[in-house]
Every structure is written in C-alpha cells, then in structure tokens.
Amino acid sequence: MLLHYYMRRVFQNGCSNLRLQRRSSSSTFTKLSKADELYVVKKAEKYSNYVKEGYEFKVGIWLNTCSALILAMISIGGYTRLTESGLSITHWKFNGIKYPKNEEEWLKEFEKYKSTPEYKEVHFNISLDEYKKIFFNEWLHRTFGRGIGLFFATGVIFFLYKNCLKKNMLKKLSFIFALGTFQGFVGWWMVKSGFEKPDTENKTPRVSPYRLVFHLFCATLTYSYLFLNSLTLIEIGKLRKEFLKSQITIWPEFLRNQLIHEMYEKRNVSKGMKLGLCFFSFLVLSNILYGGFVAGNDAGYAFNTWPKMMDKFIPDDVANFYRSQKKKYKQLFENTAIVQFNHRILGYTRPGSPCPHTYGPCTPIWGILYFVNLASFDKAHLRKSHILPKGLGTCLVCHILLLKLLNVCPNVGVLPPTYTRPSTNAITQFCYALKCPICFLV
C-alpha cells in the first residue's frame, strides 16, 4: 500500500509539472514537418467545427445528461428482464402504448397476455393485480425510452434555434438519433421473439437471448458514443476557459499548441500499451454481452455457489464441451453451465488487467487532448475492481434484484473510459469535479 501510494504521488507530481510546463510554453513546437502541420490543421479545423464558440460546455453537459438517461434506461431494462415483465405488453406502436385507465381496459390487455406462451407455461396462475405490476414495468421501460428521445430532440431544437450547432456536430447528432430510433425497433423485434416457440436449449418461453444481447449492445453503443462526445465538448469548453486566462490572445493559436502537444505525446506511447488497452476494452464489452446471455438463458439462477460451481470448479457440461471434437458452438451461448462459467472467467480476468496501464504513460488515441492525471486512472481501476464482488453477491444471493442491477450498471458505466484512450479516465475525473449527471452512475 505504501509503495502504491508513493508511486501515485510521484506520477501526480510529474503530471502537475507537465501541465504547468505546457501552459507556460506557448510556442515550444513551432517548426513542424508538412505532414505534421497538415495533421494539426485538419484536427484544429475539425474541433472548431463542432459548436459555436462559448457553447461547447453547454452542449457537452446536455449530451452527458442524455448518456446518463441511457444508462438509467439500461437499468430499467435490466429490471424489466429480471422481473419477467418484458412480454406483458403484446403489441407495439411507434408513438407509444396508452396506460390502461379502467378495469375494462385492464381486462382487455390481460386477455391478450393470456394467449402468449409465457402465460400458458410460466405465469398461468398470476392474478390481475400481479399482471398490472409486470405491465407497468414494461410500459415504464418503453415510455422512458420515448422520453429520452423527446429530451434529445428538444435539445437539438433548442441549440438549432440558438444557431450554435455546426456541420460536424449535426452529423454526430443525426447518427445518435438514428441509433436511438433503431434501438426502438430492435426492442420490439426482440419482444416478438418471446411470442414464438423457443428454438434454444432452454425451452422456457422468453425473448431470444441473441436478440436480447443485440438490444443490449445497441444500448451500450448509444451510451458510449454519447458519453465520449460529451467529454470531448466539455474538455473543449474547459480549454476555452484556460484560453481566456492565458497570455495567448488568438484561439486558433492556442488550440494549435494543444494539438501539437497531443501529437508528440501520442507518439511516446508504446504499441503494447495501446494493444493492451484495446484488449481490456474487448474484455469489458465481452463480459457485458455475456451477461446478456446469462440473463437471456436464466443462467444466473443456477450454480449459486462460489468459488466452485456447485461441487466442481469446472462443471461437467463445460469440460465435455471443451473436450469434444465435434463442438456445438451454440452451446457457448445457450448452455446454462457454459454461459455462466464463461461469464465468471471473463469477470476474473478484468480486475487486474488495468494494472499495467495504471502507472504507465497515458496518451489519447481518440480525443483532442492529452490530459494526464494518474489519480483518475487509479480511481477507474478501483471502480472496475468493485465489479467482481458485486458479481459474486449476485451469484450467491440470486433473488435480490438490487444486487443484480448493481452488477449491470458499473459494467456499462466503465466501458467508455477504456476505449483506446487512457486520457478519458482523466476527463472522467474532471466530470466528477463538475458533478456531471453521469458521474453518480459511472
């Protein structure tokens, strides 16, 4: 612990000195090759073509809030799945389903649900009052999603009215809107699979695990894209404030100096670190998606012991699969024992994996600035390390919904800071300082 603390302080002091040096040296790098000059000019033009001057921070906070709402939406979706509420509404409309107002409307919806395979084989003995509870869960999930779309559209209209959105940002916002719309259709495509006869190993009527995982992937992609773009704009807004305090009076010159520093620092990062962080991102995303298969196959209700799975470290189904010469690869995503075993293994590999990067040089691969701060990366590592005990708690106390949801949110929340740019973790700490809406969830 003392060595850990000492190393952290050494790197923090070094990073502080580096930041002071960068601020004081406004013209350290003036002679550049033609290729480097072209790189800096293109990047400066790109970052200047996001939003109108002075609106970077406001647009960034708005996108940050949207990403927080997406993460909350993922939590509500997880609750809907865990309470087996997802198939309670048997129809879908683009503009939403009206909540039943009287007993007659409730009975009408209940009769529709009675015709589904889930009611006939799983919920055949539920009462109307119990049906109202699961109906509300699914209705809330759908309505909350449409509310996010309305909040996003309102923000776009407001900033368009202020005439502060430029070409590059409009392209990004159009892509985000397309992602959100596509996600709605994917959700209904997933729900429809629950009204058909299952073709997986587990014949219990439920939504297709494959469609469930794709639905989760789209949500994670939307959240991550919003989150990273919001951090970029927030950082540009912070640079604007530093520019006003600096001795440089021309913004393009100030931005050029920052981009030159970024370019030189990027070259100092080893390929091994870049590949290592990419691999860690892959581990995080894989575990998130494998968690979807665990939920989709109800695999979390089996093998509720740790560290052994019942009385064995490697269950018979897992051992037989890896020994077999003729493998049925569907079992990797459908067999209860294999799915939970792989999910556990992916969870074990992650808490230690950030360690090589914790004390190494950090450089942005995607982003506008190299914003060195070891403490933020260290905090990110600690947050990732918390995922393991939450997963264990979920396994051992499988009936507690709160633990299950706590096993979902941190996984998705820590994914964007791992996307091939360690500096994101530093900016994440900056967001903590600003108390952005996303921070309490990440």
* Gap between the terminal Cα atoms of the chain: 25
Number of H helices, E strands in the chain: 18, 0
Do residues 423 and 370 touch, judged by C-beta distance below 8 A?
A: yes
Q: What is the C-alpha separation between 231 and 63, in angstroms, rounded? A: 9
The domain limits of the chain are: 19-434
Q: What is the C-alpha separation between 69 and 437, in angstroms, rounded? A: 9
Preceding amide of 307 cis, omega within 30: yes
Q: What is the C-alpha separation between 400 and 113, in angstroms, rounded? A: 26
Q: How would you write the pLDDT of the chain (442 residues) with one tens digit per residue?
A: 333 333 344 334 434 433 434 443 444 444 666 666 666 666 666 667 788 888 888 999 999 899 989 988 988 888 888 888 888 999 888 888 889 999 999 999 999 999 988 898 888 889 999 999 999 999 999 999 999 999 999 999 999 999 989 888 999 999 999 999 999 999 999 999 888 877 776 777 888 889 999 999 999 899 889 988 888 888 777 777 776 666 666 666 666 666 666 655 666 666 666 676 677 777 778 888 888 888 888 777 777 777 777 787 888 888 888 877 666 788 888 888 888 888 888 877 765 544 333 333 333 322 222 232 223 333 333 334 444 444 444 444 444 555 555 556 555 555 554 443 434 333 333 333 333 333 333 3
Nearest Cα to 158, choosing from 66, 245, 272, 80? 66
Q: What is the C-alpha separation between 137 and 130, in angstroms, rounded? A: 11
Tell me the residue length of the chain. 442
